[in-house]
Structure 1
Amino acid sequence: MWEDLIRELYEDAEFAPAASAAEIDQVEGRLGQPVPNELRDLLRHTNGVHAEGQSGLVWSVEEIIESNTQFRHDVALAELYMSFDQLMFFGDNGGGDQFAYVRLPSEENTGVYAWDHETDDRKWVANSLIDYLRRRAGADGDGWFR
Protein backbone atom coordinates (compact mmCIF):
# COMPACT_ATOMS: atom_id res chain seq x y z
CA MET A 1 0.00 0.00 0.00
CA TRP A 2 2.69 2.54 1.01
CA GLU A 3 4.83 2.14 -2.10
CA ASP A 4 1.81 2.33 -4.41
CA LEU A 5 0.52 5.48 -2.72
CA ILE A 6 3.92 7.17 -2.66
CA ARG A 7 4.71 6.28 -6.28
CA GLU A 8 1.35 7.76 -7.27
CA LEU A 9 2.22 11.00 -5.47
CA TYR A 10 5.98 11.19 -6.19
CA GLU A 11 7.05 9.77 -9.55
CA ASP A 12 10.73 9.78 -8.60
CA ALA A 13 10.36 8.34 -5.10
CA GLU A 14 13.27 6.24 -3.91
CA PHE A 15 12.61 3.50 -1.38
CA ALA A 16 15.13 1.96 1.01
CA PRO A 17 14.95 -1.70 1.99
CA ALA A 18 12.42 -2.34 4.75
CA ALA A 19 13.40 -1.84 8.38
CA SER A 20 13.12 -4.81 10.70
CA ALA A 21 10.90 -4.80 13.77
CA ALA A 22 14.06 -4.79 15.89
CA GLU A 23 15.36 -1.68 14.11
CA ILE A 24 12.05 0.13 14.60
CA ASP A 25 12.04 -0.92 18.26
CA GLN A 26 15.40 0.86 18.60
CA VAL A 27 13.58 4.15 17.95
CA GLU A 28 11.32 3.46 20.91
CA GLY A 29 14.21 2.38 23.08
CA ARG A 30 16.40 5.37 22.29
CA LEU A 31 13.67 8.03 22.35
CA GLY A 32 11.49 6.53 25.08
CA GLN A 33 8.33 6.93 23.01
CA PRO A 34 6.21 4.55 20.97
CA VAL A 35 6.54 4.88 17.21
CA PRO A 36 3.13 5.83 15.79
CA ASN A 37 1.49 2.79 14.19
CA GLU A 38 1.30 4.35 10.72
CA LEU A 39 4.99 5.32 10.77
CA ARG A 40 5.92 1.86 12.05
CA ASP A 41 3.93 0.31 9.20
CA LEU A 42 5.61 2.51 6.57
CA LEU A 43 9.08 1.72 7.95
CA ARG A 44 8.27 -2.01 7.74
CA HIS A 45 7.80 -1.49 4.00
CA THR A 46 10.61 0.98 3.38
CA ASN A 47 13.25 2.37 5.73
CA GLY A 48 12.84 5.94 4.51
CA VAL A 49 11.59 7.66 1.37
CA HIS A 50 13.30 10.33 -0.67
CA ALA A 51 12.08 12.11 -3.79
CA GLU A 52 13.63 14.83 -5.92
CA GLY A 53 12.81 18.22 -4.47
CA GLN A 54 11.24 16.63 -1.39
CA SER A 55 14.19 16.54 0.98
CA GLY A 56 13.59 14.28 3.94
CA LEU A 57 10.14 13.11 2.94
CA VAL A 58 10.25 10.30 5.54
CA TRP A 59 13.53 9.55 7.29
CA SER A 60 15.09 6.18 7.92
CA VAL A 61 15.13 4.64 11.40
CA GLU A 62 18.74 5.81 11.80
CA GLU A 63 17.89 9.38 10.77
CA ILE A 64 14.90 9.45 13.14
CA ILE A 65 17.09 8.37 16.06
CA GLU A 66 20.00 10.69 15.22
CA SER A 67 17.94 13.81 14.56
CA ASN A 68 15.66 13.43 17.55
CA THR A 69 18.58 12.68 19.84
CA GLN A 70 20.44 15.74 18.60
CA PHE A 71 17.44 18.03 19.04
CA ARG A 72 16.77 16.74 22.55
CA HIS A 73 20.33 16.88 23.87
CA ASP A 74 21.92 19.87 22.14
CA VAL A 75 22.57 22.54 24.80
CA ALA A 76 22.56 25.40 22.27
CA LEU A 77 19.16 24.33 20.93
CA ALA A 78 17.80 24.08 24.48
CA GLU A 79 18.67 27.75 25.01
CA LEU A 80 16.85 28.82 21.83
CA TYR A 81 13.76 26.61 21.71
CA MET A 82 11.07 24.97 23.80
CA SER A 83 11.65 21.33 24.68
CA PHE A 84 11.58 18.79 21.85
CA ASP A 85 10.94 15.85 24.19
CA GLN A 86 7.28 15.49 23.23
CA LEU A 87 8.01 15.54 19.49
CA MET A 88 9.12 12.68 17.26
CA PHE A 89 10.60 14.18 14.11
CA PHE A 90 10.42 11.97 11.01
CA GLY A 91 11.08 14.29 8.06
CA ASP A 92 12.18 17.75 6.95
CA ASN A 93 11.80 20.27 4.16
CA GLY A 94 15.53 20.72 3.49
CA GLY A 95 15.48 24.29 4.80
CA GLY A 96 15.60 23.63 8.54
CA ASP A 97 11.92 23.00 9.24
CA GLN A 98 10.95 19.56 10.51
CA PHE A 99 7.85 17.35 10.51
CA ALA A 100 6.87 15.46 13.63
CA TYR A 101 4.30 13.65 15.65
CA VAL A 102 3.43 15.01 19.07
CA ARG A 103 3.83 12.06 21.37
CA LEU A 104 1.43 12.00 24.29
CA PRO A 105 1.34 9.49 27.14
CA SER A 106 -1.64 7.89 25.38
CA GLU A 107 -1.11 6.03 22.11
CA GLU A 108 -3.51 8.45 20.42
CA ASN A 109 -2.38 9.85 17.07
CA THR A 110 -2.52 13.64 17.16
CA GLY A 111 -1.61 14.14 13.50
CA VAL A 112 1.49 15.60 11.91
CA TYR A 113 3.00 18.92 12.93
CA ALA A 114 5.53 21.23 11.32
CA TRP A 115 8.21 22.82 13.48
CA ASP A 116 9.48 26.16 12.17
CA HIS A 117 13.17 26.54 12.99
CA GLU A 118 13.03 30.35 12.81
CA THR A 119 10.06 30.96 15.11
CA ASP A 120 9.85 27.69 17.11
CA ASP A 121 6.19 27.46 16.05
CA ARG A 122 4.70 23.99 16.15
CA LYS A 123 1.74 23.89 13.81
CA TRP A 124 -0.65 21.08 12.92
CA VAL A 125 -0.42 20.33 9.17
CA ALA A 126 -2.04 16.93 8.55
CA ASN A 127 -4.38 14.37 10.11
CA SER A 128 -2.14 11.41 9.40
CA LEU A 129 0.98 10.25 7.58
CA ILE A 130 -1.08 9.61 4.44
CA ASP A 131 -2.61 13.08 4.68
CA TYR A 132 0.89 14.56 5.15
CA LEU A 133 2.20 12.76 2.05
CA ARG A 134 -0.77 13.91 -0.02
CA ARG A 135 -0.66 17.53 1.15
CA ARG A 136 3.09 17.74 0.61
CA ALA A 137 2.82 16.24 -2.89
CA GLY A 138 0.05 18.65 -3.87
CA ALA A 139 1.93 21.69 -2.65
CA ASP A 140 3.56 24.30 -4.80
CA GLY A 141 6.90 24.92 -3.08
CA ASP A 142 8.39 24.30 0.34
CA GLY A 143 6.06 26.68 2.21
CA TRP A 144 2.96 24.45 1.89
CA PHE A 145 2.79 23.94 5.65
CA ARG A 146 2.91 27.60 6.68
Structure 2
Amino acid sequence: MNRQPHAHSREAIVANAIQQVVGELRLIDVADYIAFIRLEHFACLSDLVDSAAELYFMPGTLRLGHGGEAHVDWSGNPRVVLDLELRPPGVTVYFQLALSEHTASVVVNYVSFQRPNEDPERNTELLEAVLERARIRRTEPLALP
Protein backbone atom coordinates (compact mmCIF):
# COMPACT_ATOMS: atom_id res chain seq x y z
CA MET A 1 0.00 0.00 0.00
CA ASN A 2 1.34 3.43 -0.90
CA ARG A 3 1.46 5.72 2.10
CA GLN A 4 0.15 9.21 1.51
CA PRO A 5 2.12 12.19 2.83
CA HIS A 6 -0.61 13.16 5.31
CA ALA A 7 -1.06 9.64 6.74
CA HIS A 8 1.50 10.13 9.52
CA SER A 9 -0.20 13.26 10.87
CA ARG A 10 -3.61 11.55 10.80
CA GLU A 11 -2.21 8.53 12.65
CA ALA A 12 -0.85 10.87 15.32
CA ILE A 13 -4.27 12.53 15.65
CA VAL A 14 -6.04 9.17 15.99
CA ALA A 15 -3.44 7.85 18.45
CA ASN A 16 -3.77 10.95 20.60
CA ALA A 17 -7.58 10.80 20.51
CA ILE A 18 -7.77 7.17 21.65
CA GLN A 19 -4.92 7.27 24.17
CA GLN A 20 -7.20 6.97 27.20
CA VAL A 21 -9.22 4.20 25.56
CA VAL A 22 -6.00 2.27 24.96
CA GLY A 23 -5.29 2.55 28.68
CA GLU A 24 -8.67 0.99 29.39
CA LEU A 25 -8.11 -1.77 26.82
CA ARG A 26 -4.79 -2.63 28.50
CA LEU A 27 -6.66 -3.46 31.72
CA ILE A 28 -8.07 -6.54 29.96
CA ASP A 29 -5.96 -9.68 30.25
CA VAL A 30 -4.21 -10.58 27.01
CA ALA A 31 -5.49 -14.16 27.36
CA ASP A 32 -9.05 -12.86 26.98
CA TYR A 33 -8.15 -11.11 23.73
CA ILE A 34 -6.44 -14.23 22.44
CA ALA A 35 -9.40 -16.45 23.36
CA PHE A 36 -12.02 -14.14 21.84
CA ILE A 37 -10.03 -13.74 18.62
CA ARG A 38 -9.09 -17.39 18.21
CA LEU A 39 -12.63 -18.58 18.97
CA GLU A 40 -14.07 -15.82 16.75
CA HIS A 41 -16.18 -14.38 19.56
CA PHE A 42 -16.07 -10.94 18.01
CA ALA A 43 -19.26 -9.81 19.76
CA CYS A 44 -17.43 -10.22 23.08
CA LEU A 45 -14.48 -8.29 21.68
CA SER A 46 -16.85 -5.59 20.46
CA ASP A 47 -18.35 -5.31 23.96
CA LEU A 48 -14.86 -4.78 25.40
CA VAL A 49 -14.13 -2.00 22.93
CA ASP A 50 -17.52 -0.37 23.54
CA SER A 51 -17.01 -0.48 27.31
CA ALA A 52 -13.53 1.02 27.04
CA ALA A 53 -14.74 3.82 24.75
CA GLU A 54 -17.94 4.80 26.58
CA LEU A 55 -16.15 6.97 29.13
CA TYR A 56 -14.29 9.00 26.52
CA PHE A 57 -16.38 9.21 23.34
CA MET A 58 -19.99 9.78 22.39
CA PRO A 59 -21.86 6.50 21.77
CA GLY A 60 -20.97 4.83 18.48
CA THR A 61 -17.89 6.95 17.84
CA LEU A 62 -15.33 4.18 18.41
CA ARG A 63 -16.18 0.59 17.65
CA LEU A 64 -14.69 -2.71 16.61
CA GLY A 65 -14.39 -3.13 12.86
CA HIS A 66 -13.99 -6.55 11.26
CA GLY A 67 -12.23 -8.28 14.13
CA GLY A 68 -8.64 -8.71 15.09
CA GLU A 69 -5.52 -10.83 15.12
CA ALA A 70 -3.61 -12.50 17.93
CA HIS A 71 0.09 -13.06 17.28
CA VAL A 72 1.29 -15.59 19.84
CA ASP A 73 4.22 -17.98 19.69
CA TRP A 74 6.61 -19.74 22.05
CA SER A 75 9.50 -17.36 21.50
CA GLY A 76 8.08 -13.93 22.13
CA ASN A 77 5.56 -11.63 23.66
CA PRO A 78 1.96 -11.71 22.44
CA ARG A 79 0.72 -8.96 20.16
CA VAL A 80 -2.95 -8.21 19.60
CA VAL A 81 -4.16 -6.22 16.60
CA LEU A 82 -7.71 -4.85 16.65
CA ASP A 83 -9.51 -3.54 13.57
CA LEU A 84 -11.26 -0.40 14.78
CA GLU A 85 -13.43 2.34 13.34
CA LEU A 86 -13.77 5.92 14.48
CA ARG A 87 -17.05 7.42 13.30
CA PRO A 88 -17.42 11.00 14.46
CA PRO A 89 -20.00 12.99 12.46
CA GLY A 90 -18.84 13.51 8.87
CA VAL A 91 -15.74 11.30 9.00
CA THR A 92 -14.99 7.57 9.14
CA VAL A 93 -11.51 6.32 10.02
CA TYR A 94 -10.61 2.67 9.50
CA PHE A 95 -7.50 1.75 11.44
CA GLN A 96 -5.68 -0.94 13.34
CA LEU A 97 -4.55 -0.73 16.94
CA ALA A 98 -1.63 -3.01 17.80
CA LEU A 99 -1.08 -3.78 21.48
CA SER A 100 2.03 -5.50 22.77
CA GLU A 101 3.71 -5.74 26.16
CA HIS A 102 5.24 -2.26 26.21
CA THR A 103 3.87 -0.51 23.15
CA ALA A 104 0.73 0.42 21.30
CA SER A 105 0.60 1.67 17.73
CA VAL A 106 -1.97 2.92 15.26
CA VAL A 107 -2.02 2.32 11.51
CA VAL A 108 -4.67 4.26 9.61
CA ASN A 109 -5.88 2.27 6.60
CA TYR A 110 -8.46 4.65 5.17
CA VAL A 111 -10.18 7.91 6.02
CA SER A 112 -13.51 8.80 4.43
CA PHE A 113 -14.86 12.34 4.60
CA GLN A 114 -18.55 13.00 3.98
CA ARG A 115 -17.67 16.36 2.39
CA PRO A 116 -13.96 16.24 1.56
CA ASN A 117 -11.94 19.36 0.84
CA GLU A 118 -9.50 19.38 -2.06
CA ASP A 119 -6.71 20.33 0.36
CA PRO A 120 -5.58 17.29 2.41
CA GLU A 121 -4.39 19.56 5.21
CA ARG A 122 -7.91 20.95 5.62
CA ASN A 123 -9.24 17.40 5.80
CA THR A 124 -6.68 16.58 8.48
CA GLU A 125 -7.75 19.66 10.46
CA LEU A 126 -11.38 18.58 10.07
CA LEU A 127 -10.52 15.11 11.38
CA GLU A 128 -8.90 16.61 14.46
CA ALA A 129 -11.83 18.96 15.08
CA VAL A 130 -14.58 16.33 14.76
CA LEU A 131 -12.70 13.91 17.01
CA GLU A 132 -12.38 16.62 19.63
CA ARG A 133 -16.12 17.35 19.44
CA ALA A 134 -16.93 13.63 19.78
CA ARG A 135 -14.94 13.38 23.02
CA ILE A 136 -16.57 13.28 26.42
CA ARG A 137 -14.64 15.56 28.71
CA ARG A 138 -14.89 15.76 32.44
CA THR A 139 -15.97 19.23 33.43
CA GLU A 140 -14.74 20.95 36.53
CA PRO A 141 -17.48 22.24 38.83
CA LEU A 142 -17.73 25.97 39.16
CA ALA A 143 -16.78 27.30 42.54
CA LEU A 144 -19.61 28.84 44.50
CA PRO A 145 -19.00 32.41 45.71
Which TM-score applies when normalising by structure 1?
Answer: 0.29
Higher fraction of strand: 2
- Which of the pair has more CA radius of gyration? 2
Q: Which structure's relative contact order is higher, taking Cα pairs within 8 Å and 6+ residues apart?
A: 2
